[in-house]
Chain A
Amino acid sequence: MDPTFIRNFSIIAHIDHGKSTLADRLLEVTGALSQREMMEQVLDSMDLERERGITIKAHAVRLNYKGDDGQDYQLNLIDTPGHVDFTYEVSRSLQACEGALLVVDASQGVEAQTLANTYLALGHNLEIIPVINKIDLPSAEPDRIREQIEHVIGLDAGGAILASAKQGTGIHEILEAVVHMVPPPTGDPEAPLRALVFDSWFDPYRGVITLLRIVDGRIRVGQEVRLWSNGKVYEVEGLGYQSPKPVPCEELSAGEAGFMMANIKTVSDAQIGDTVTDDKHPAAEPLPGFQEIKPMVFAGLYPVESHEHGRLREALEKLRLNDSAFNFEPENSVALGFGFRCGFLGLLHLEIVQERLEREFEIDLITTAPGVRYRVTTRGGDVIEVDNPTRFPNPADIEQIEEPIIDATVITREEYLGEILKLLEEKRGTQKKFEYIGTGRVLLTYELPLNEIVLDFYDRLKSASRGYASLDYHLAGHRDSPMVKLDVLVAGDPVDALSMIVHREFAYDRGKALIERLRKLIPRQMFEVALQAAIGSKIIARENIPAIRKNVIAKCYGGDITRKRKLLEKQKEGKRRMKRVGRVEIPQEAFLAVLKVGEES
Chain B
Amino acid sequence: MPGVYISYPFCAQKCTYCNFASGVLPAELEGRYLDALEQEIARHPWRWTPESVYLGGGTPSRLPPADLERILAGVPGKPWTEATIEAAPGGITAELAAGWRRAGITRVSLGVQSFVEEELRLTGRKHTAEIVEREIAILRGVGIEDINIDLIAGLAAQSLDSWFASIDWIERLQPPHVSVYMLEVDEDSRLGLEILREGPRYGAARVPDEEQVAEFYEAAVRELAGLGLARYEISNFAKPGHESRHNLKYWRLEPYAGFGVDAHSFDGGIRWQNTDEVREYVSGRGVVVERQRARESERFWVGLRLTEGVRARPADLARHAEAIERLKQNRLLEQEGDLLRLTPRGVLLSNEVFQEFL
Interface on A for B, CB 8 Å cutoff? 524, 526, 546, 548-562, 564-565, 567-569, 571-572, 575
Contacts and interface: CB of A to CB of B under 8 A. Distances in A.
Contacts of A559: 5, 249-250, 256, 258, 264-266
B117 to A, nearest CB: 23
A555 B20 CA distance: 11
B184 interface: yes
A556 B295 CA distance: 18
A524 B209 CA distance: 13
27 contacts: A524-B210, A546-B211, A548-B352, A549-B211, A549-B213, A550-B213, A550-B214, A551-B350, A552-B350, A553-B184, A553-B351, A554-B180, A554-B181, A554-B182, A554-B234, A556-B247, A557-B20, A558-B54, A558-B262, A559-B256, A561-B250, A561-B266, A562-B273, A565-B298, A565-B301, A568-B301, A571-B351
Contacts of B348: 549-552
Interface in B303-358: 330, 347-352, 354-355, 358
A526 B349 CA distance: 9
A549 B264 CA distance: 31
A558 B258 contact: yes
Contact of A549 (B210, B256, B290, B355): B210
Contact of B234 (A552, A565, A572, A575): A552
Interface of B: 5, 7, 20, 54, 56, 180-182, 184, 210-211, 213-214, 217, 234-235, 247, 249-250, 256, 258, 262-266, 271, 273, 290, 292, 294-295, 298, 301-302, 330, 347-352, 354-355, 358
A271 to B, nearest CB: 53
Contacts of A549: 210-211, 213-214, 348
Contacts of A550: 182, 210, 213-214, 217, 348-349
Contacts of A560: 262, 264, 273
B33 to A, nearest CB: 16
A557 B355 contact: no
Given A558-B263, A559-B264, A571 B355 contact: yes
A568 B351 contact: yes
Contacts of B180: 554
Contacts of A564: 302
Contacts of A562: 264, 271, 273, 290, 292
Contacts of B266: 559, 561
A556 B20 CA distance: 11
Nearest to A526: B330
Contacts of B262: 558, 560
B349 A561 contact: no
A569 B297 CA distance: 12
A561 B350 contact: no
Contacts of A552: 182, 234, 347-351
Contacts of B302: 561, 564
Contacts of B298: 561, 565
Contacts of B7: 558
Contacts of B290: 562
A554 B355 contact: no
Given A550-B210, A561-B250, A572-B355, 14 more contacts: A548-B210, A549-B211, A549-B213, A550-B349, A553-B350, A555-B181, A557-B56, A559-B256, A559-B266, A561-B298, A565-B301, A568-B351, A568-B358, A569-B358
Contacts of B354: 568
B271 A558 contact: no
Nearest to B182: A554
Contacts of A565: 295, 298, 301, 358
A185 B217 CA distance: 84
Counting chain B CB atoms within 10 Å of each CB, the highest count among A548, A562, A564, A571 belongs to A562
A565 B355 CA distance: 9
Contacts of B263: 558
A529 B247 CA distance: 38
B5 A572 contact: no
A192 to B, nearest CB: 72
Nearest to A546: B211
Contacts of B264: 558-562
A569 B256 CA distance: 24
A569 to B, nearest CB: 6
A286 to B, nearest CB: 64
A99 to B, nearest CB: 56
Contact of A551 (B265, B349, B358): B349
A168 B193 CA distance: 50
B184 A558 contact: no
A550 to B, nearest CB: 4
B182 to A, nearest CB: 4
Nearest to A553: B351
The interface centre, meaning the residue of A552, A554, A560 with most chain B CB atoms within 10 A of its CB, is A552
Contacts of B234: 552, 554
A130 B304 CA distance: 76
Contacts of B5: 558-559
B9 to A, nearest CB: 11
Contacts of B250: 556, 559, 561
